[in-house]
Amino acid sequence: MLMPDAFDVLILSNGPGELTTWVRPVVRALRRRWGEARSEVRISLVLSPDANGSGQEMAIAQRYPELDRIQAAEQFWPFLLWGKTAADWDWRAQGVVIFLGGDQFFSVVIGRRLGYATVTYAEWEPRWLGQVDRFGLRRPESLSQIPVKYRAKCRVVGDLMVEAAQDIDATILRPVSSEPKSSEPESSEPESSELGSSEPDSSESPAAAIEWIGLLAGSKAAKLTQGVPLLLTMADYWHHHRPQSRCFIPVAPSQTPQSLLRYAQAEHNPFVTTLGSPPVKLVQFDNEVWYFQTASGACIELYTGFPAYDRLSQCQICLTTVGANTAELGALAIPMLVLLPTQQLDAMRAWNGVPGLLANLPGLGSLFAKAINWVMLRNLGLLAWPNLWAGEEIVPELVGRLDPIEIAQRVMDDLEHPERLEAMRSRLRAVQGETGAAERLVDLVESCLAG
């Protein structure tokens, strides 16, 4: 059967991680396959509620020009139940629903309602085998677990997380300046006494010796509460003991420099005192460049570009929380340390399902969180995506009551031995697997449309 002259592609997704690492490479692959003729191929995105959502999913999705229409998660249930979008979208006679996050059952219901074929990207377990038309599997192991009668509709496409980080335009991989901008601060008065106005101090280390360290503190409160003070303590230590180092924090789309500042202040975050994190002020230059500046003069740039691949690609090493960012760093072959501090067991409440509900109960939530995390942390296994790919720890995972000075010294020792970091880069490149997951998923879409 020939391809239809005009059709709709409806993508179902939910959280910021799925939007960044799954939706982005797929919509790019769809446009590469069928071009920019929106009258022929229209791509819509419907977001579903996510217990761990950031509230910025719409803002992230709006950065993708490949999308024609987007509906927010708040408007999802009426669409699922009655088939009507908030903007009363029209639908073409032929189309495909692609599942890229949320509950796999949603694609079954919506596909049936619209009369569209369904394609599910199954990261772990494919569900609703009899009702879904095609499955794109992340892992070859999943295929052997599927009943024989359903295997013909399944294909191992690979890991979209790897695809997301490797799908980088060469034009954004530009060298990073070795020094903070030296222009004068903006002339207007700061809006708050929390904002500083002095120019970030610049070391006299030769430019050739500059080394960049990326500090990925996360995007959610549970991680930022511990991550921001932990990383700022390290940055301040490096300022005194390794002045050629420069640090920056990629600001997640769900955060701003101002919101991150609260996690660095003892009056808003008691964990600052727990770690002995240095006092900081927020400094802005050129109306666009933000820094945290410690009392001793250490400057940590807050990079608001998204995604931050252009800056991360210049790093000698990164320190990161667990999550999709480990997959992106791994795909960029950037050496990393993965940190999961547990000084405040009750601060970690982002578990899925029943544990997450119990940990967030009013009143008793803190007790449940401590108990759940105590159990979970003893049964976590490997956490970072590169380690999961490899089946062994190739990037260090540090879990427990972390000492920021000990970690800072460990990073300095690694920087003094670049052969270690290069060995980690080589292993990261080796475990990434085959590229082209997004294109193979689009092949499944095309096979549905062509009959």
pLDDT tens digits, residue range 139-188?
A: 888 888 899 999 999 999 988 877 765 655 333 333 334 344 433 333 33
| 216-220, 244-248, 352-356, 381-385, range with the lowest pLDDT | 352-356
| Distance, CA of 208 to chain centre | 31
**416, burial (CB in 10 Å: exposed 0-12, middle 13-18, buried 19+):** exposed
From CA 211, how far away is CA 208, in angstroms rounded? 8
Long-range contacts of 110-114 (CB under 8 A, 24+ apart): 110/10, 110/12, 110/46, 110/79, 110/80, 110/83, 113/83, 114/10, 114/83
Is the pLDDT confidence value at 282 over 90? yes
Distances (CA, A) of 148 to 155, 364, 451: 13, 47, 21
Cβ neighbours around 247 below 10 Å, total: 24
From CA 102, how far away is CA 105, in angstroms rounded? 9
Q: Is 397 helix (H, G, I), strand (E, B) or coil?
A: strand
Angle at 118 between CA 112 and CA 123, to 5 degrees: 130
Cβ neighbours around 441 below 10 Å, total: 26
**304, burial (CB in 10 Å: exposed 0-12, middle 13-18, buried 19+):** middle
Is the pLDDT confidence value at 44 over 90? yes
Contact 415, 409 (CB under 8 A): no
Sign of CA dihedral 321, 326, 328, 330: positive
At residue 345 the predicted structure's pLDDT band, cuts being 50, 70 and 90, is very low
CATH topology assigned to domain 7-158+436-449: Rossmann fold (3.40.50)
At residue 56 the predicted structure's pLDDT band, cuts being 50, 70 and 90, is confident
Give which of 119, 162, 157, 125 is closest to 138, Cα–Cα: 157
Domain ranges across the chain = 7-158+436-449, 175-342+377-431
Contact 348, 278 (CB under 8 A): no
Cβ neighbours around 113 below 10 Å, total: 15
Full strand arrangement of the beta sheet holding 299-303? 195-196, 280-285, 289-294, 299-303, 245-250, 211-216, 317-320, 336-341, 397-400
| Each residue's pLDDT tens digit, 394-442 | 999 998 888 999 999 999 999 999 999 999 999 998 887 677 899 999 9
Contact 71, 86 (CB under 8 A): yes
pLDDT score at 158: 87
Contact 24, 324 (CB under 8 A): no
- What would the mean pLDDT of 15-31 be, rounded to a whole number? 89
Give which of 303, 90, 284, 313 is closest to 191, Cα–Cα: 284
Asked if domains 7-158+436-449 and 175-342+377-431 share a fold, the reply is yes
| 149-158, 200-209, 254-263, 367-376, range with the lowest pLDDT | 200-209
What are 72's two structure tokens?
């927010």
From CA 238, how far away is CA 213, in angstroms rounded? 10
What are 269's two structure tokens?
């975050």
pLDDT score at 360: 57
**Better-scored residue on pLDDT, 367 or 322:** 322
Is the pLDDT confidence value at 299 over 60? yes
pLDDT score at 187: 32
pLDDT score at 182: 36
| 20-34, 360-374, 375-389, 410-424, range with the lowest pLDDT | 360-374
Please give the DSSP secondary-structure letter assigned to residue 185: B
Partners of 319 in beta bridges: 215, 337
Cβ neighbours around 77 below 10 Å, total: 11
pLDDT score at 55: 72
pLDDT score at 146: 92
pLDDT score at 207: 45
Counting residues of the chain whose pLDDT is more than 70, the rounded percentage is: 80
Give which of 319, 303, 195 is closest to 251, Cα–Cα: 303
- What would the mean pLDDT of 83-105 be, rounded to a whole number? 94
Please give the DSSP secondary-structure letter assigned to residue 20: I
Residues in contact with 262: Cβ distance below 8 Å, sequence separation at least 6, in sequence order: 268, 269
Q: Which residue has the tokens 């972390």?
A: 402
What are 182's two structure tokens?
């030296």
pLDDT score at 278: 92
**Better-scored residue on pLDDT, 9 or 330:** 9
| Each residue's pLDDT tens digit, 181-212 | 433 333 333 333 344 444 555 444 444 478 99
Rg (CA), the chain: 23
CATH number of 175-342+377-431: 3.40.50.2000
What are 265's two structure tokens?
């202040």
Residues 433, 435, 440, 441, Cα dihedral to 10°? 80
Angle at 385 between CA 381 and CA 389, to 5 degrees: 90
Contact 389, 431 (CB under 8 A): yes
Please give the DSSP secondary-structure letter assigned to residue 443: H
Is the pLDDT confidence value at 283 over 70? yes
Q: Is 46 helix (H, G, I), strand (E, B) or coil?
A: strand
Average pLDDT of the chain is 82
**Better-scored residue on pLDDT, 383 or 350:** 383
Task: Give whichever of 102-111, 246-255, 319-328 has the largest mean pLDDT.
Answer: 102-111
